Amino acid sequence: MNYEKNLLDFYVKYKGQYEVNDVLWYSNMSTIIRSNGGDFRRNCAIFALMSINTSLTSNIKKFDHYIETGEFRGLFPDKFIKIQKAKSEEDLLTALNGNKVKNFFMNLYNPVDPKYVTIDRWAYRVAGFQGKPTNKRYIEIANAYKTASNKLGLLPNQLQSCTWCAIRKI
């Protein structure tokens, strides 16, 4: 399967529907998380942790609740405790574990770093993959996003975010 071609075809097909905020989704979310004060890096990790099996709307509500009260309403309280105790970025990545959540964290924490792209179920679909994702497949599709985004003059997370916004609308 040519995942890169599928990504480029999808991007071109829906190009007229993308909004600036779709492309800049990670930069915008990063700014919102930063505006809440506190430890920015830790808050990005907590937002990423809360995203597991959660809609964006629910995730934002849970994060707002956390900011207001300090109470964690996610699925993995043990990982939350590890994040709270983390002293370094490496500690945070270890606490988060899993390609998707680690990449989501890094996209929020440093949205201009081209090394990271969040591959979720929507990203798999846009790439044309159907089936059970594996670590090998995650890396393969992430690399397809990186190559395709380079051809389009975008960061990998920008291609992922605008296609994510588009596929959820169709």
* pLDDT at residue 169 in the model: 83
Domain that includes residue 19, residue range: 3-169
pLDDT confidence bin for 77, thresholds 50/70/90: very high
Q: Rounded distance, CA 36 to CA 30, Å?
A: 10
Is residue 131 over pLDDT 90?
Answer: no
> 117's torsion region: left (phi>0), alpha (psi -120 to 50) or beta?
beta
Task: Give the max Cα distance, the chain.
Answer: 47
Overall number of domains in the chain: 1
Tokens of 151: 């051809």
Distance (Å) of CA 97 to CA 74, 110, 164: 15, 18, 22
Residue-wise pLDDT for 9-51, tens only, equals 999 999 888 888 899 999 999 999 999 999 999 999 999 999 9
Is residue 67 over pLDDT 90?
Answer: yes
- What is the pLDDT averaged over residues 133-156? 96
